[in-house]
Amino acid sequence: MIKKVSVIGAGQMGNGIAHVLAIADIDVFLKDISKEQLDKALETIEHNLRRQVGRGALSEGDITKALAHINPVTDDAHLAEVDLVIEAATENEEIKKSILSALGPKLKPEAIIATNTSSISVTRLAAITDRPEKFIGMHFMNPVPVMQLVELIRGIATNEETFETIRELAVRLHKTPTPAEDFPAFIVNRILLPMINEAIYTLYEGVGSVRAIDTAMRLGANHPMGPLQLADFIGLDVCLAIMQVLYEGLADTKYRPCPLLVKYVEAGWLGRKSGRGFYDYTGDEPIPTR
């Protein structure tokens, strides 16, 4: 039974994962390298909990209880007592490997390690830990409190007990776990990110404006967000990282990242999280940036 969890990385995803664990009465240690990111994460979590009070899904008392389950940390002292680590740091293989390879000696022998990676090989990440049989991909969707799906990705060595424990946890979090094979970007991002990349090519080649492309897909395909708005929501750095994993992992030019996406990331225009991407979010309304 998973009772205590360490979430590493308090960004877009880490704060959402901590949120859903806390409302399921699970103790969470939310770790980041930057204190201000932790402060921001706790603010975001409280804000999102309040959204659910607004709809009557949670009471004020639930918020107090949930927040009491979340312990922001910047060190590893808590690792000795956790049953599970969920790594949700930057989508960069080197950063993930440096985090994951250092965990083993600090964890209980029976602790499980999960990664929230969008695309990187679970087998490869597992291989640099001391417990590949207790390593799994637990891929939440953004925004975590709202999206139902959790993709479960076995590495080649992941054992059945690990899979079953994490599947049960996903159900406890009121999510729908879906198994995906360990190939680049798994299921959702193998399909979704090439669509987002194609939307960026549509802008790059001048087929439509930012607003026209998003309106077309919202009203023409009933998407809740347009693809460029969604790219800004995910983070353009994450979108580019996923396209690069697809391009290198599947060696097919159809996955080459659009040069315009590369340019935005090189400019530090990462979308909502940096205040500017395909839209500028610094005013009352998002304004297209080209």
Structure token pair of residue 173? 């979090």
284 annotated as belonging to a binding site for a ligand: no
Residue 42 in the binding site for ligand CAA (CB under 6 A): no
Does residue number 192 form part of the binding site for ligand NDP (CB under 6 A)?
no
239 neighbors 193 (Cβ within 8 angstroms): yes
Contact partner, 34, from ligand NDP, ligand CAA, none, Cβ < 5-8 Å per class: ligand NDP
159 is in an annotated binding site: no
CA–CA dist 51, 34 (Å, integer): 26
Q: What is the DSSP letter of 77?
A: G
In angstroms, what CA-CA distances link 157 with 18, 93, 106, 153, 201? 27, 19, 21, 11, 38
Distance CA 264, CA 261 (A): 5
Q: Is 196 in the site for ligand CAA (CB under 6 A)?
A: no
Which is catalytic among the residues 116, 118, 121, 197? 118
By rule CB under 6 A, what string of x and - marks binding of each residue 7-46 to ligand NDP?
Answer: -xxxxxxx----------------xxxx--x---------
**CB neighbour class for 58 (10 Å; exposed up to 12, middle 13-18, buried from 19):** middle
Whether residue 32 is annotated as binding a ligand: the answer is: yes
Of these partners, ligand CAA, ligand NDP, none, which one is at the site of residue 273 (CB under 5 to 8 Å by kind)? ligand NDP
CB of 33 to ligand CAA, least distance (A): 21
- Which of these ranges, 51-59, 208-216, 232-240, 244-252, lies near ligand NDP under the rule CB under 6 A? 232-240
Q: What's phi and psi for 4, nearest 5 deg?
A: -130, 130
Instruction: Spell out the long-range contacts of 37-45 with Cβ–Cβ below 8 A and sequence spacing 24 or more.
Output: 37/10, 37/11, 38/10, 38/72, 38/73, 38/74, 39/72, 40/10, 41/10, 41/11, 41/14, 41/15, 41/72, 42/15, 42/67, 42/70, 42/72, 44/15, 45/15, 45/18, 45/19, 45/70
**According to the annotation, is 110 in a ligand binding site?**
no
Q: CB 62 → ligand CAA: shortest distance, Å? A: 13
Q: Which residues bind ligand NDP (CB under 6 A)?
A: 8-14, 31-34, 37, 88-91, 95, 99, 116-118, 140-142, 234-235, 238, 273
Residues annotated as catalytic (active site), given as ranges: 118, 139, 151, 189
Q: Which residues bind ligand CAA (CB under 6 A)?
A: 48, 51-52, 54-55, 57, 118, 141-143, 145-147, 188-189, 192, 224-225, 230, 234, 238
Residue list for the binding site: 9-14, 32, 91, 96, 118, 142, 273
Residue list for the binding site for NAD(+): 9-14, 32, 91, 96, 118, 142, 273
